[in-house]
Amino acid sequence: MDIGLPIGTAPETIPCPACGTSAGRVFTAPMLGLADRRRTAVLDHTEASRSAPPVVTSLPTSTARRAPAPRLDPRTARLPRP
């Protein structure tokens, strides 16, 4: 029988439900399998791209130029552009 208790509230020993003798604490892995599948997929993808990032072999084919970002402060309009 599995009894799950939060870490801060679990006593050092509890009575065994089958025989009544004192049983010590057992630490197990957290229940990560119960997480949302989409969130788990994002975490797995992030972890995979950290150690083996995708390699770009060619430049993008798009020829459209991006418009410059608007200036947030009108006082900076007279500053030289980089």
Residues 22 and 15 sit within 8 Å (Cβ to Cβ): yes
pLDDT band at 36 (very low <50, low <70, confident <90, very high): confident
| Statement: the pTM of the whole predicted model exceeds 0.85 | no
Measure the CA–CA gap between 46 and 53, rounded to whole angstroms: 9
Query: If we measure between CA atoms, which residue out of 14, 37, 34, 39 comes closest to residue 25?
Result: 14
What is the amino acid identity at position 62?
A: S
- Who has greater pLDDT, 63 or 19? 19
Confidence (pLDDT) at 2: 60
pLDDT score of 29: 73
Predicted confidence at residue 53, as pLDDT, reads 76
Q: How far is CA 28 from the centre of its chain?
A: 21
More confident residue, 44 or 35: 44
